[in-house]
């Protein structure tokens, strides 16, 4: 099964590298959001809770873009039929999609986190980076499990580009709550504070629940 996941993942990544559709769009949206936030908040430098909130808003909005596009290659040109006809376990498809979305999110954040530090963040990024990276990776995983489920549902609808953000945002609020609390301490102006264990735990549990939901439901969710 893992071989299938890796092959499918490679397919998605190759499509993205060659087509260059989703990730650049996500990066651009994130950058625009940072600029908008500067003007909307009227601040040149953020720290603590405000910085944390600004960063996560930016990440979430660009994530909804990625979620909406995640299954487009399957829904067009009969791609889904091709995948479903092959003797591949449905769960492998799920795993591949989760990994693909995760990769896109990480790629976006590699650009956006320095941009954020440049444009909006008050305190220095370097001391905060290890803890921040940890929380980012964990939350990316949660966003990926939720997003692959939402993307698979939304792509079946006529109004898929409307539904993807509408479905994803409420579902992502619980991990968002935990992530913002966690990063608020990390981005504090006095230097990164410790992260109480409960926040990463919540994010991890949430990712786990949605992963399990995905596995349980994926047979019903993949179709064309």
Partner 1 sequence: MTETRKAPGRGLKRLAILTALTLGTAYGLVFFWTPNEADQGFVQKIFYLHVPMAIVTLGGFILGGIFGFLQLRSGDRKWDLRSYVAIHLSLMLAVGTLITGSIWARASWGHWWVWDEPVLVSFLIVFLLYACYQPLRFSIEDADKQARYASVFAVVAGAFVPLNFAAVRLAQAYTHPRVLGGAQNSMPGSMQLTFLLAIIGMTLLYITLWKFEITSKTTRMQLASIKRRLDSDATGSPA
The verdict on 156 binding partner 1 (CB under 8 A) reads yes
The verdict on 86 binding partner 1 (CB under 8 A) reads no
Q: Are 197 and 153 in contact (CB under 8 A)?
A: no
The verdict on 181 binding partner 1 (CB under 8 A) reads yes
The verdict on 198 binding partner 1 (CB under 8 A) reads yes
Burial 18-48 (b: 16+ CB within 10 A, else e): eeeebbeebbebbbebbeebbeeeeeeebbb
**Residue closer to partner 1, measured from CB, 76 or 223:** 223
Q: Which two tokens stand for residue 174?
A: 């619980």
Interface with partner 1 by CB under 8 A: which range of 23-31, 50-58, 120-128, 152-160? 152-160
**Residue closer to partner 1, measured from CB, 8 or 149:** 149
Interface with partner 1 by CB under 8 A: which range of 27-35, 39-47, 109-117, 158-166? 158-166
Q: Which residues contact 224 (CB under 8 A, 6 or more apart)?
A: 74, 75, 78, 80, 81, 84
Q: Cα-Cα-Cα-Cα dihedral of 8, 12, 17, 23, to 10°?
A: -140
**Residues contacting partner 1: total by CB under 8 A:** 29
List, in sequence order, every residue forming a beta bridge with 121; answer none if it has no partner: 46
Give the residues lining the site for partner 1 (CB under 8 A): 149, 153-154, 156-159, 162-163, 166-167, 169-171, 173-175, 177-178, 181, 198, 202, 206, 209, 213, 217, 220-221, 223
């Amino acid at each position: 099964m893992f071989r299938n996941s890796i092959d499918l993942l490679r397919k998605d990544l190759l499509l993205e590298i060659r087509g260059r559709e989703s990730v650049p769009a996500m990066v651009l949206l994130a950058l625009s959001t940072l600029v908008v936030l500067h003007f909307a908040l009227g601040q040149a430098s953020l720290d603590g809770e405000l910085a944390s909130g600004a960063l996560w808003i930016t990440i979430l909005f660009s994530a909804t873009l990625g979620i909406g596009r995640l299954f487009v290659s399957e829904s067009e040109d009969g791609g889904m039929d091709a995948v479903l006809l092959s003797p591949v376990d449905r769960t492998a498809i799920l795993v591949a999609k989760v990994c693909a979305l995760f990769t896109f999110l990480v790629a976006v954040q590699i650009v956006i986190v320095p941009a954020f530090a440049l444009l909006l963040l008050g305190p220095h990024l370097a001391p905060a980076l290890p803890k921040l990276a940890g929380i980012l990776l964990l939350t990316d995983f949660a966003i990926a499990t939720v997003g692959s489920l939402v993307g698979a549902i939304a792509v079946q609808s006529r109004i898929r580009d409307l539904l993807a953000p509408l479905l994803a945002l409420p579902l992502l609020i619980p991990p968002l709550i935990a992530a913002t609390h966690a990063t608020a301490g990390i981005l504090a102006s006095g230097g990164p504070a410790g992260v109480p264990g409960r926040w990463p735990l919540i994010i991890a549990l949430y990712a786990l629940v949605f992963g399990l939901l995905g596995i349980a439901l994926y047979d019903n969710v993949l179709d064309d």
